[in-house]
Chains A and B, each alone.
Chain A
Amino acid sequence: MTTITISRQLGSQGTQIAREVGTRLGFGVLRREVINEAARRAGAPEVALAAIDYLGLFDLHPSQEACRSYRQAVREVIEGLADEGEVVIVGRAGQVVLAGRPDVLHVRIIAPPDVRIKRIEALQDIPTAAARAQMERSDRTRREYLHCAHDVHWNNPELYDLVLNTERMTVASSADLICRALTECFDDRGDD
């Protein structure tokens, strides 16, 4: 049973790539489900909104206790999913929670800032400045979550088996590489 974690930047096409990988492999793709289930377990449903709100628009400030309970619940949910396997887990520090597990492939999806801004701009039909602001705020929110919750820097390549720069790659070619990496990592085990 294998699991893939995908960490992605806004504008990197990471979510679409995760979906494509899930479709090809027949794996479930979980993103918000992890957040919602963890918040339910933590008994703090509003934390789910705070976790989704990477632009800070809800102005939510859950208590430290609620955040701790939520992070613990996220860990439990992610570990449970990995135990079942055949799943792509998007975000929520899956690369840290499942670090060291031999049955998990960790993928990071990035793109240069100017490429990301253009994608956000085109997709949402918003001005360049707004796209840049979304990107910067999203980066800050996600970086801080990794740092505060797990004391790691999300761009540390050692957290990942594979880092993909999608500047010149399509969703399909990126999914190709991830599927191939999965096959090579797990089919070759025990050959040495």
Chain B
Amino acid sequence: MTDLTDPEGSQPSFAHPTEEAFARILDYYGIEWEYEPRTFVLERDDNGNIAAGFSPDFYLPMQDLYVELTTRRPNLVTSKNRKVRRLQELYPDVNIKLFKRRDIRDLMIKYGLDQHAEPILGTEAQEEP
């Protein structure tokens, strides 16, 4: 989780706005997270080189849970479902959840988490006043 009390701290470069929105929600709830901290090898070629890998979007250490985000587009869901299933076969001790994200922009605006989310990250705002 990004510590905004640290002047050197900064958000990682998210590959997709959905990931950034998800990170804001995690911060709001005070849930620790790491962004793409690990790549799991799913397949190797005959020479032992990595032929296919999978880097889940987030890892939540307190929940010991990897999270992969996807939109609701069927082809993307199918592809990611396949990767998640393969990862679970190869790494049965790893917990992973595929989040099929709906557009939650309206909800974030409703709860004030849109433009004001940044200043409250890592603060007492998570402390349920």
Do A and B pair up? The answer is: yes
Q: Does A162 contact B (CB under 8 A)?
A: no
Those of B61-78 within 8 Å (CB) of chain A: 62-65
Contacts of B102 in A (CB 8 A): 59
Q: Least Cβ distance of A145 to chain B in Å?
A: 15
Residues B112 and A55 in contact, CB atoms below 8 Å apart: no
Contacts of B17 in A (CB 8 A): none
Q: Does B50 contact A (CB under 8 A)?
A: no
Residues B116 and A55 in contact, CB atoms below 8 Å apart: no
In the complex, A46 Cα to B63 Cα: how many Å?
A: 8
Residues B111 and A52 in contact, CB atoms below 8 Å apart: no
Given A46-B65, A56-B107, A127-B112, residue A8 in contact with residue B120 (CB < 8 A): no
Q: Does B41 contact A (CB under 8 A)?
A: no
Q: What size tier do the contact residues of chain B reach?
A: 20 to 34
Residues A119 and B63 in contact, CB atoms below 8 Å apart: no
Q: Least Cβ distance of B123 to chain A in Å?
A: 8
Q: Does B7 contact A (CB under 8 A)?
A: no
Contacts of A123 in B (CB 8 A): 120, 124-125, 129
Contacts of B101 in A (CB 8 A): 59
Q: Does A133 contact B (CB under 8 A)?
A: yes
Residues A126 and B107 in contact, CB atoms below 8 Å apart: no
Residues B129 and A126 in contact, CB atoms below 8 Å apart: no
In the complex, A32 Cα to B28 Cα: how many Å?
A: 14
Those of A115-136 within 8 Å (CB) of chain B: 116, 119-120, 123-127, 130-131, 133-134
Residues A59 and B104 in contact, CB atoms below 8 Å apart: yes
Contacts of B113 in A (CB 8 A): 57, 126, 130
Q: Does A7 contact B (CB under 8 A)?
A: no
Residues A36 and B63 in contact, CB atoms below 8 Å apart: yes
Q: Least Cβ distance of A46 to chain B in Å?
A: 5
In the complex, A126 Cα to B129 Cα: how many Å?
A: 13
Contacts of A126 in B (CB 8 A): 111-113, 116
Q: Least Cβ distance of B116 to chain A in Å?
A: 5
Q: Does B95 contact A (CB under 8 A)?
A: yes
Residues B97 and A46 in contact, CB atoms below 8 Å apart: yes
Contacts of A131 in B (CB 8 A): 112
Closest Cβ neighbor of A46 among chain B residues: B97
Contacts of A95 in B (CB 8 A): none
Residues B97 and A45 in contact, CB atoms below 8 Å apart: yes
Contacts of B100 in A (CB 8 A): 59
Contacts of A116 in B (CB 8 A): 129
The 8 A CB mask of A142-185 against B (1 = contact, 0 = none) is: 00000000000000000000000000000000000000000000
With contacts A12-B129, A126-B116 known, what are 6 further pairs, Cβ within 8 A?
A16-B127, A49-B65, A52-B29, A53-B29, A57-B108, A126-B113
Listed A/B pairs (15) with beta-carbon separation below 8 Å: A32-B62, A45-B65, A45-B95, A46-B63, A48-B63, A55-B111, A56-B107, A57-B28, A57-B108, A59-B99, A124-B120, A125-B120, A133-B111, A134-B111, A134-B112
